[in-house]
Amino acid sequence: MKPETILGSFRTALGGKLLDERTIERQVGNVDPQSVYDLWIVVDRADFRAAVEHLCAEFDPHLSVISGDDLGDGIALNYHFSAGWGERYGEVTFTIRTVVPKSDLHIPTITDLLPGAQTSEREKREFFGIEVDGIPDKRNLFLPEDMTIHPWRHDLQEETNGSVKRLVKWEERNE
């Protein structure tokens, strides 16, 4: 799939809602070098759901993972999709980036569009404390069920460190 096809489609569909876009071209291969492309777009949280709906309707995407990044006053969520799989050199990674402010940590779910997103959404929910609206399963996935701290948040590091220290102390006591 051509990167221009995807980006052109999003420019048409989202118009001015497309805050930024980036095409990263990489050369692979030593004998016959070819280009592979990583595409990034940035949208506002209000338009995020529309962007994913457009992607799912047009390009039959695969979601690799959702990555998160604590920016200080907000948390950036990168939804790493890829489109065009099944064809040699046909796949293009396509990342939709949106920022959730810490004053209002809510993001709509995409599990109704792509059920495979649920694991990654649950992970972001427990590690960042982001409320995923509409997610069918709100339990912790990797952390203990009664754990309330969010280890990937930079502003909550003291609580996380305290939890780790308590754990070490508890282990020493048992010895």
Selected binder of other proteins within 2, 106, 138, 154 (CB under 8 A): 154
25 binding other proteins? (CB under 8 A): no
Beta-strand ranges (E) seen in the chain are 18-28, 34-43, 62-70, 74-83, 92-101, 106-108, 131-133
112 binding other proteins? (CB under 8 A): no
151 binding other proteins? (CB under 8 A): yes
Give how far Cα 63 sits from Cα of 34, 149, 153, Å: 24, 27, 24
86 binding other proteins? (CB under 8 A): yes
70 binding other proteins? (CB under 8 A): yes
As beta bridge partners, residue 41 has: 21, 96
The distance of closest approach from Cβ of residue 39 to other proteins in the complex, given in angstroms and rounded to an integer, is 12
As beta bridge partners, residue 74 has: 101
Q: Which residues are at the interface with other proteins (CB under 8 A)?
A: 19-20, 22, 24, 26, 28-34, 36, 38, 40, 42, 60, 62-64, 69-74, 76, 82, 84-93, 97, 99, 114-117, 127, 140-144, 151-152, 154-155, 157, 160, 164
